[in-house]
Structure 1
Amino acid sequence: MLTKPKILVVEDEIIVAVNLGQKLKKLGYDLVGITSSGEEAIQKAEENHPDLVLMDINIEGNLDGIQTAEVLRNRFQTPVIYLTAYADENTLNRAKRTQPLGYIVKPFESDQLRSSIEVALYKNEVEFKNRKQEESLKSTLNKIESGIITTDENGLVIFCNPAAEEITGIPFSECIGQPLSRILKLENFEEGIQEIPLSDVLKKGVGIDSENRTIVDNLGRKKKVSVTSSPILSTEGIATGTMIVFGTENSDDPGQSYLKEIHHRIKNNLTIISSILSMNASHLKDQESMDIFKESQHRIHAVALLHEVLYENHDLSSISFDLYVRKLTDLLFEVYKVDREKFKLVLNVKECRIPSETGMNCALIINELLTNSFKHGFVDREEGEIRVNFHKNGSDYVLEVKDNGVGFPADAIRNRSAHSLGLSLVDSFVKLLQGKMEWENSSGCSAKLTFPVRK
């Protein structure tokens, strides 16, 4: 049984309050209290954690309804609907600043009460999800080693991560609200001090790369950096701000450092793309679209993971495939919240180092096949096993992924549809490898790929 939304009523007219409480109970809500003053409302909110407060603006005590709503929002993030018989313009303006989820004008009917409450609860749930997504994005950006600064459409800084603070020498609190030109001071040998052309980024809606620049930090120290300026686009494709990503360059080993920086930067940018996908997914209403977004994120994570392993390597032309597969499978088990005590993974990767491009294609195939196993292979199963085998057989590589689940529908394999994106991607990667895929549905699903070794 679903939990009833808990509602607190703050109303100093006792008859109105009792009548309102009765209506709420008849409508199926959980009335957690009726109080007539702001001080009591704050105490009851702390004790009962209501999902919504119905707040009269004119109440008893030292706090009016608007002041009480402000305390509730700041301290407990409790949403409020105002109850009012009338309100002058100044009162309404004060009320707006507390970001209420609605107004109910007295007197009101039960239908109006229900619709106002349901809309408010829905809006609050959406706002909560958006806040969580923003917190997740901020946490991701804070972990990235490159400096990241975002601005609004006027070029004023609205966010900078710890790496940006360290490179510029300016703390977060002093960056916010300042023009970007005051925070990020760039120069090059030929042109001297330069500003990032934010107006071009906003108008054209495309990114601008600036290589071989020198940043002058808050103490006058100079560091070589590369800068990428990109527009932040709304869901309508309108530029609402900019994102500037910059990292210091290491000149100890120019060739190797440059290649590693490329892989490192790609990984960071993929992380940003994944985070933006996550933010956009929060606005989707249907589950199918949300699932598509999430699976796209997982594919981005798989590619980013490859660049992480390459970045850690000394030889960027080849990849430690056993390490990559182990990291990739760990990531997928975590993403799909699979209990590793009940669902076993057996890895048998005999060829440790393979060309990077080959490793990428093989890993993305593994990503799609394991995703299918987690989503469809163990429906109504409490335990299972997945095996990933990879070895060299003469002039061929052999990759096999199999599980002991319910098996893959034969029609799904024979008749690829536009909706089976995972299988379509597998087909594409198999063609890139010039290989052949064999499917078997005996005691689960087995996919065996054979493709030639290429130098």
Structure 2
Amino acid sequence: MTDASILVVEDESIVAKDLQNRLRKFGYTVPAIASSGQEAINKAVEISPDLVLMDIRLKGQMDGIEAAAEIHKYLDIPIIYLTAYADENTLERAKITEPFGYLLKPFKERELQTNIEIALTKHRLEKQLKTNQQWLSTLLNSISDGVIATDVNQLVTFMNPVAEKLTGWTQVEASEKNISEIFKIIDITTREPLENSINKVLQSGAIAPLSVATILIAKNGAETPIDDSAAPIKDNKDNITGAVLVFRDVTERLQAVADRQKQTEQEQLVAQLEELNQLKNDFLNLVSHELRSPLCHMKGMIQMLQMSNTVQEQQHFLEVLEAECDREMELINDLLDLQRLENSFYLQLAPDLLLLQQWLPWVIEPFQTRTQEHQQTLQLNLPLNLPSLFSDRTSLERILVELLNNACKYTPAGGEIILSVSREVAEIPIKTIITVSNSAEIPAAELPRIFEKFYRIPNADFWNQGGTGLGLAIVQKLVEQLRGSIQVTSNQGWTMFTLTLSDLELTS
């Protein structure tokens, strides 16, 4: 720093002039020379030099040490003492003023220049450090989070105003106290004491992740919900010298979460009420039509029986009456079955070994006659050596009967119905895939609702076949009980229900 300006304070004019010449030879500027303590103070304040070379013994009432102390009151500049005295008392007085050098006369030029350069460099670094410390202090004091720093023994070394407010401790009170005494936290749910993050950091040497569900107990007993994180403080050799804890008040955030949760619960409740209301309306519509219609028919048949004159007529009316009774019973049974499935988490299943090669032909046998009567074709596709399936016989039979019944009901005359079985051995557990296809297409917009209770596809000629709208809802519930899945696809004139099952023995 050869362009530095240096104030020389020396009461011997010849010595002062010699110093001035030497300094200029080094490349420094010497804007002034002072011969007394008071003059040194005045010159320093006036020109604000980069450094002062101060002789300790000066003429007048004020010596160089006293002058240096006064200069430090006004200016932050380094001072190097030049003196012929090295007694212990002088040294002790000089040390109080924190000089940047102490040269004994006579000294060599190189020694003088070296001390000046070291003093200027040291002062520049200290000034930069003070600036950084001031910047850091301002930052820590202005952020909205609480900050507490400790040494390696967990003794508090720093607290910002937010930390003081949340803990109830001032930095003066907390200084040199253990962090556990200042930062007391408990679990928000169990109210059990929690280990502070500083201890974890000092033990592990790693950043402690953000923790939640924590209550901070202040000095006066006040409770504040917080979240916090901590990190180690390391020196330039990566040695841990302490830790810093950062925490914040999350009262507003928790309240916002609670408000959103409450709003969500209210919205869900409204949606559930609307769904229940819709189900009630659907049920009332069902009762008003499906349940009342067979009863009206039965009443009509009873009246016709009372007026009939021949055995043949009576037999006909009795057959119609029996059919309507069966229809009414089927609807009631469907309602009861669906309620039973919805109100039980899992049915008491009775897994059985089903030899599909023999069992499936028996299941579809009743539908062979029915399809022939409606000029439909029912085809069963089974691979050779089809393995058995360990599943609940009653539930699986009900599923297939419902799917085949729908297929027969909605397939037009001349149409086809196909039941196929395959095995997916690439996955563990091995999957059994059963498909029921029929040559009738469901509109794409209706597919998402096909398994809804009471839902029947509107405005389609061959789909308006009556029914309860409960069959496929029952099928889906039964499939869930068997730990399986069911999907429906419909395109190019065909509808396919795909049932995927695993052996209950392997998944239970």
Q: TM-score, normalised by structure 2?
A: 0.45
Which one has the largest radius of gyration?
A: 2
